[in-house]
Amino acid sequence: MARSIISLVTVLVVVAVISVRPADAAAYPNPGYVTGSIGVHDPAVVKTSSGYLLANTGNNIALKTSTDRTAWRDAGVAFPGGASWTLPYTGGGASLWAPDISRHNGKYYMYYAASTFGSRNSAIFLATSATGASGTWANQGLVISTTSSSSYNAIDPNLITDAAGNWWLSFGSFWTGIKLIPLNSSTGLRSGTALYSIAQRTGGSTAVEAPFIFRHGSYYYLWVSFDLCCQGASSTYRIMVGRSAGVTGPYVDRNGTAMTSGGGTQVLAGHGSVHGPGHQAVITDSDADVLFYHYYADNGAPLLGINLIAYDSAGWPYVY
């Protein structure tokens, strides 16, 4: 009898392990297949009449195009003549960060950041273009800036238009986290002085950045990256999400924890040879909503990641 009980317990344990292990193993899919010029950092993508336009961190903002979302080619830089107006924030360098690209009012809008690593002497600028092509981007001016005495950081911008057509810009990194400001939809620049706090890490780490607000159904989903970017294969970036019925929040995770209190539901994290996935962007495409991000290979190279997004019965996104 004792031996039978032991055998039964053994079977139950094995069954329990088997029932858990597949869910863990399948939690994070590998990035979809991409080819060509796929070395990117902080990718943002907009769908065009001829395919896709991607902008990413680099000297004077690097551009790439694709006709099929799979094969990517270099398409020059946004500012081949340089961006002199950003030099007070970049320490004289040409590297510009975290572009956000979208199309409105018959033209392309690109918000991007100028800063140096670990600094709050930062600024977000706006450029527009009729075609999105290299050399056609015109500086439209400063949107918001911060200094070393600011409690937040003006980097990692993302434009969201709400259900009523109002324009908002989310941004932020570390310190007191992610902020949201209203924009003038005619100019694309800041409107008024309102500043909303929509996400903040609490406890031992303040590492939250790269906000992207995406409207799906009756919710606004706030995608962010937790932990550390830019450490090659040692990066610990991971993609989190929360949602709100209103664009200004409050955003909560699946468990109901406010994102201003450290909440966030994990959607994608490092696994296998995929290290530190993060700085995500989301678009709606003909086949599904699509998640773009960068991750690091075993050799530390930053690469383009693409996965499709689905939503469970409770409306929470997952990738496949």
Does the pLDDT at position 16 exceed 60?
no
Query: Going edge to edge, which strands form the sheet with 196-199?
Result: 158-161, 167-172, 178-183, 196-199
User: In the annotation, is 289 catalytic?
Assistant: no
Query: What pLDDT, in 10s, does the model give residues 72-106?
Result: 999 999 999 999 999 999 999 999 999 999 999 99
CA distance 259 to 211: 12
Does the pLDDT at position 157 exceed 70?
yes
User: In the annotation, is 100 catalytic?
Assistant: no
3-state secondary structure 223-274: EEEECCCCCHHHCCCEEEEEEECCCCCCCECCCCCEHHHCCCEEEECCECCE
Of 314, 313, 267, 317, the residue nearest 288 (C-alpha): 317
Share of the chain above pLDDT 90, in %: 91
The pLDDT value given to residue 105:
92
First vs last C-alpha separation in the chain:
46
The pLDDT value given to residue 26:
52
Tell me which of 100, 156, 209, 227 is the catalytic residue. Answer: 209
* Better-predicted residue by pLDDT, 24 or 258: 258
- 29 phi, psi to nearest 5 deg: -75, 155
Taking residues 7-12, what's their average pLDDT? Answer: 35
CATH superfamily of 39-319: Glycosyl hydrolase domain; family 43 (2.115.10.20)
What residue type is assigned to position 12 of the chain?
Answer: L
Query: What pLDDT, in 10s, does the model give residues 268-289?
Result: 999 999 999 999 999 999 999 9
